[in-house]
Structure 1
């Protein structure tokens, strides 16, 4: 009986710690958020919404590229990211990765715009451990900028 009770508590705790991410239908997105999103991305297709506390996140496609945008409850765009190919990385970044992370393979690359500044998010696959980097266009690691999953 104690094991069952502990299992229920653990499951409840885990679901609570799901960081509040919740898929929501578009009709539950506040109009100010939806209007700001539509204005910023008028050609978005296959839009899916999530709510995390008082933030809204839309995942969508535009021109066959995956995008994600995060907006606050007032409709302000906080950050946007989209997939880019390894070949689209600036030469300085490719050089830095080749020199500093030679044992890793580039797995995923995204271009993030946050507060008017562009960053490259790069996920590197390693033999024993993967790495997530946030770099500026010159290849300098930005440790004060969080990797956005």
Structure 2
């Protein structure tokens, strides 16, 4: 196998692995119990896109001009919900911690996440290097992942 073939085979394999974890699906293939729960909770949702992730169904949508995401179990129960929030709505303790830990970084995006009543924040920071960080509602650092 030559160099180009090896590269192409590797890229194909990465694509197959990535697509096995999350798969875009047509709304008509979403179970009715899940669609019903979603439509009841978010009747004004627009730009609705569904994915199947493992046993769960994830839906990306907009309410007004704000990006949202909800994850549902096969039973129709909400597993988690998240939405973009303005940087100014990030709790001050978290903003202060980020400024101290990433002095050259710039907060690019903030997601407010509710998983079974537990609130966390995912913050995308542009800087050297770009990272995503998670904090709990009290301002405790959870983790950092390179972006």
Give TM-score, length-normalised by structure 1: 0.84
Q: Which structure shows the higher strand fraction?
A: 2
* 8 A contact 1:59–1:69 mirrored in 2: yes
In the alignment, the residues of structure 1 paired with residue 104 and residue 47 of structure 2 have an alpha-carbon distance, to the nearest angstrom, of 37
Q: Cα distance, 1:138 vs. partner?
A: 2.7
Unaligned 5+ residue runs, structure 1?
A: none
Q: State the partner residue of 1:37.
A: 38
SS in 1 for 2:109: strand
* 1:106 partner SS: strand
Change (3 A) 1:95 1:11: closer
- Equivalent residue number for residue 88 of structure 1: 89
Alignment match, 2:51 = 50
Cα-to-partner distance string for 1:87-127 (whole Å, 9 max, x where unaligned): 11111111111222212111111100111011111011122
Distance 1:141 1:35 in 2: 36
Distance verdict in 2 for CA 1:8–1:121, change over 3 Å:
closer
Say which SS state the counterpart of residue 43 (structure 1) adopts. Answer: coil
Secondary structure in 1 matching 2:18: coil
Question: Structure 2: 5+ residue runs without aligned partners?
Answer: none
Distance 1:31 1:11, change over 3 A: same
Post-superposition offset of 1:8: 5.9
**How far is the alpha carbon of 1:6 from its aligned partner?**
4.1
TM-score (norm 2): 0.85
Structure 2 counterpart of 1:137:
137
| Count of paired positions | 144
Q: Secondary structure at the match of 2:36?
A: helix
Provide the aligned C-alpha RMSD in A. 2.2
